[in-house]
Amino acid sequence: MDLITQHTIYEEFINRYERLIISRIKRFYQGEELYDLFQDVTIHIYQKIPVEFHKNTDAFSSSSWVVTVVDRFLVSYHRKKSAIKNIHSKSDKNFSDLQWDRVANSLMVELNLNDGDGKQFEDYLREIFKLVSKEDALILKMKYYYNKPSDLIAVKLNIAHVNMRIKRVKDYIRSKLSNKLKEEINSNL
Q: What is the pLDDT of residues 168-177, one digit of tens each?
A: 888 888 787 7
pTM of the model: 0.43
- CA dist 70 and 72 (Å) reads 5
Arithmetic mean of pLDDT over the chain: 75
Say how far residue 88 (Cα) sits from the centre of its chain. 17
Q: Is the dihedral of CA 28, 31, 37, 39 positive or negative?
A: positive
- CA dist 130 and 92 (Å) reads 11
Given this model, what pLDDT does residue 89 score?
41
**Whole-Å CA distances, 176 to 17, 124, 142, 154:** 58, 12, 22, 26
> 75 by DSSP, 3-state: which?
helix
DSSP line for 112-152 = TPPP--HHHHHHHHHHHHHHS-HHHHHHHHHHHTS---HHH
Query: In this predicted model, what pLDDT tens digit does every residue of 112-165 receive, in sequence order?
Result: 555 454 555 566 667 777 888 888 888 888 887 778 888 889 888 888 899 899
Query: In this predicted model, what pLDDT tens digit does every residue of 69-79 receive, in sequence order?
Result: 888 888 888 77
The secondary structure of residue 27, as a DSSP letter, is T
| Residue 141 · residue 158 · CB < 8 Å | no
Given this model, what pLDDT does residue 90 score?
44
What ranges do the domains of the chain cover?
3-82, 87-188
> 38 by DSSP, 3-state: which?
helix
Query: In this predicted model, what pLDDT tens digit does every residue of 5-63 receive, in sequence order?
Result: 888 888 888 899 999 999 999 988 888 888 999 999 999 888 888 877 766 666 666 78
Given this model, what pLDDT does residue 7 score?
85
Res. 107 pLDDT band, cuts 50 70 90:
low
Given this model, what pLDDT does residue 39 score?
92
Given this model, what pLDDT does residue 148 score?
85
For domain 3-82, which CATH number applies: 2.30.29, 1.10.3470, 1.10.10, 1.10.1740? 1.10.1740
